[in-house]
Amino acid sequence: MKTLIIVDAQNDFMPGGSLPVPDGDKIVPVINRIQDKFNLVVATQDWHPQNHISFASNHPGKSIFEEIEVAGKPQTLWPDHCVQNTDGALFHPDLQTERWEAIFRKGTDSKIDSYSAFYDNGHLKSTGLAGYLKEKGASQLFFCGLAADICVYYSIYDAFKEGFACFFIEDATQALDLEGFKEIKKELIHLGIQFITSEEI
């Protein structure tokens, strides 16, 4: 079954948001256009408490994009973003959500970040998405959303490890760091993940 995973297409990651991905809003019409090509459509939503450990504002003396260590792992400090029940955490207003069957929230634990749609960054807690998809009979997962080099990357990597056939829809994602994304793309292609455009679905 062909399944579309829409990752974090939220206001704070769009131009004008607190953590904007360049041209992030340009993916919205593409995502709207392709949804009818799938048997199942699900979305993820970054949903942070205000005291989240990844926010630079919660670490006095630290700066945005500085790196610290949390539970033995590197942690980038971000601007406050996608805080629960704020406008920034809402999906882009032009996004068509009628066909979405489920929304999986992540980053809800204040003590650990969660880039992937499947697990937190320490792989301590599952979001339940993998089990949901397997129960639904999903076999082919097509990924889009924001940001290509962070949450989409970690999500597709975990999906691959879970045994799903994975496809990266390039024109339905945008990267925060374009140069870094070039290296990520090489890594994913090496794993066997297919990069396609929306026209190839």
CA distances from residue 59 to 1, 64, 67, 113, 177 in whole angstroms, order as listed:
44, 10, 11, 15, 24
| Rounded-to-integer distance, Cα 132 and Cα 129, Å | 5
Is pLDDT at 138 greater than 90 in this prediction?
A: yes
Q: What is the pLDDT of residues 177-199, one digit of tens each?
A: 999 999 999 999 999 999 999 99
Pick the CATH number of 2-47+88-200 from 3.40.50.850, 3.40.50.920, 3.90.1570.10, 3.40.640.10: 3.40.50.850
Cβ atoms of 58 and 117 closer than 8 Å: no
Using CA atoms, how far apart are residues 126 and 105, in angstroms rounded to an integer?
A: 11
Instruction: Give per-residue pLDDT as tens, 44-61.
Output: 999 999 999 999 999 999
Catalytic residue list: 8, 106, 151
Q: What is the pTM of this model?
A: 0.96
- The domain spans of the chain are 2-47+88-200
Asked whether the bond before 43 is cis by omega within 30 degrees of 0, the reply is: no
Computed over every residue of the chain, the mean pLDDT equals: 96
Rg (CA), the chain: 16
